[in-house]
């Protein structure tokens, strides 16, 4: 019977099994924040698109810490968030087995970018989705009102159906991402009235989030393809002289039971897994068309958030945007589902003043040294053609 020379903790967590490609390209919200009926009705989630990363300089106010009154450089992620459009409302009944959808009420007019979501091939289709529903809503509005009354009478959870305006960000995709967003606050009647008032309205990101609060992100991580055990599980490499390779697991189990246990590290898919990360701090929310959105009190340079030459593999940010401290799972252009924090953050660093002093907008394609293209042209002078 064999034994190991030293004891050691296992490599890699089993809590994320199975490590396979996710079915949810757009982050899926599995739980919404707890409802509080004493506050006004409000939305609890939003969808943004990852543009890229940059860094900022902040003055830390943390009495007792060695960082107090000192400047710190922090990595930040920029998420472009054009306004979303509400196109429906869903009512859920609480049952012993969980929530059950009672009925769905749609808006009278749906744009093509959301109707594309209901087709495999929009180009060759007859594009008839929701035409009969719109006709019924116009001729018999009392039936729509009756469905809303049913939601008010029987339901305990109300969620709106909202979609992104993906055409506003210059990606190749034309099909909008659609999301169920829970309405929290107020009684059920107030929730339904609030949801109906949002029909066909643009909802800016500032109605859901504000600078200084924390949010949760749900997204698919960056795919890495088929990976071995060393990079996938973090197991130790074998000695250099090992026969037939050393980036392996030497013993994958005993003779009996005569099968490989699920706890043994094996090669396979790495990345493109669904992950939810909680309590990310919003440092700033920028508005569309604001030429000074990346300026601060200490840096008065007139500049937007887009770096010189644009974000690599993304381009220019022209809509509303959020600046989130730290990294966000996923590649550029990927839809990131943002949710109001499920667990209230008690970290001291999440409740101190933001004190942004500088936002870097130099080129991300190399060792950028100019914050704006005007600054570069002024320094370089007239260049020979």
pLDDT of amino acid 2: 65
What is the 3 state secondary structure string of the chain? CCCCCCCCCCCCCCCCCCCCCCCCCECCCCCCCCCCCCCCCEECEEEEEEEEEEEEEEECCCCCCCCCCCEEEEEEEEEECCCEEEEEEEEEEEECCEEEEEEEEECCCCCHHHHHHHCCCCCCCCCCCCHHHHHHHHHCHHHHHHHHHHHHHHCCEEEEEEECCHHHCCCCCCCCCEEEEEEECCCHHHHHHHHHHCECCEECHHHCCCCCCEEEEEEECCCCEEECHHHHHCCCCCCCCCCCCCCCCCCCCCCCCCCCCCCCCCCEEECCCEEEEEEEEEEEEECCCCCCCCCCCCCCCCCCCCCCCCECCCECCCCCEEEEECCCCCCCCCEEEEEECCCCCCCHHHCCCCCEEEECCCCCCCCCCCCCHHHHHHHHCCCCC
pTM for this model (two decimals)? 0.95
pLDDT of amino acid 66: 95
pLDDT of amino acid 3: 75
pLDDT of amino acid 6: 85
pLDDT of amino acid 188: 97
The per-residue pLDDT string of the chain (385 residues; one tens digit each, 9 = 90 and over) reads 567 788 889 999 999 999 999 999 999 999 999 999 999 999 999 999 999 999 999 999 999 999 999 999 999 999 999 999 999 999 999 999 999 999 999 999 999 999 999 999 999 999 999 999 999 999 999 999 999 999 999 999 999 999 999 999 989 999 999 999 999 999 999 999 999 999 999 999 999 999 999 999 999 999 999 999 999 999 999 999 999 999 999 999 999 999 999 999 999 999 999 999 999 999 999 999 999 999 999 999 999 999 999 999 999 999 999 999 999 999 999 999 999 999 999 999 999 999 999 999 999 999 999 999 999 999 998 877 6
């Amino acid at each position: 019977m064999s034994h190991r020379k030293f004891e050691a903790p296992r490599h890699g967590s089993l809590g994320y099994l199975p490590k396979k490609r996710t079915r949810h390209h757009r982050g899926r919200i599995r739980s919404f924040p707890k409802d509080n009926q004493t506050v006004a009705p409000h939305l609890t989630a939003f969808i943004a698109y990852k543009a890229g990363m940059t860094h900022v300089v902040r003055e830390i106010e943390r009495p007792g810490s060695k960082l107090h009154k000192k400047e710190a450089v922090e990595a930040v992620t920029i998420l472009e968030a054009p306004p979303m459009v509400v196109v429906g409302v869903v009512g859920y009944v609480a049952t012993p087995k969980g929530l059950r959808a009672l009925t769905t009420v749609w808006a009278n007019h749906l744009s093509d970018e959301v109707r594309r979501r209901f087709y495999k091939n929009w180009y060759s289709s007859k594009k008839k989705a929701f035409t009969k529903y719109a006709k019924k809503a116009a001729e018999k509005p009392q039936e729509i009102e009756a469905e809303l009354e049913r939601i008010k009478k029987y339901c305990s959870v109300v969620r709106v159906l909202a979609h992104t305006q993906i055409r506003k960000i210059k990606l190749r995709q034309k099909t909008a991402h659609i999301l169920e967003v829970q309405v929290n606050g107020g009684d059920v009647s107030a929730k339904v009235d609030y949801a109906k008032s949002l029909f066909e309205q643009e909802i800016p990101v500032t109605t859901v989030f504000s600078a200084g609060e924390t949010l949760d992100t749900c997204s698919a991580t960056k795919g890495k393809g088929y990976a071995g055990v060393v990079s996938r599980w973090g197991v130790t490499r074998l000695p250099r002289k090992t026969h037939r390779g050393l980036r392996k697991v030497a013993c994958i189990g005993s003779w009996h039971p005569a099968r490989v246990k699920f706890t043994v590290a094996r090669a396979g898919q790495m990345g493109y897994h669904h992950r939810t990360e909680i309590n990310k701090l919003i440092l700033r929310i920028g508005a569309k068309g604001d030429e000074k959105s990346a300026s601060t009190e200490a840096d008065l340079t007139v500049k937007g958030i887009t770096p010189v030459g644009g974000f690599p593999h993304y381009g220019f940010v022209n809509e509303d945007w959020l600046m989130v401290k730290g990294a966000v799972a996923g590649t550029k252009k990927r839809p990131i589902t943002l949710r109001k924090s499920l667990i209230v953050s008690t970290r001291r660093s999440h409740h101190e003043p933001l004190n942004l002093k500088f936002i870097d907008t130099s080129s991300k394609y190399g060792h950028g040294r100019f914050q704006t293209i005007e600054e570069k042209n002024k320094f370089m002078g007239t260049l020979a053609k």
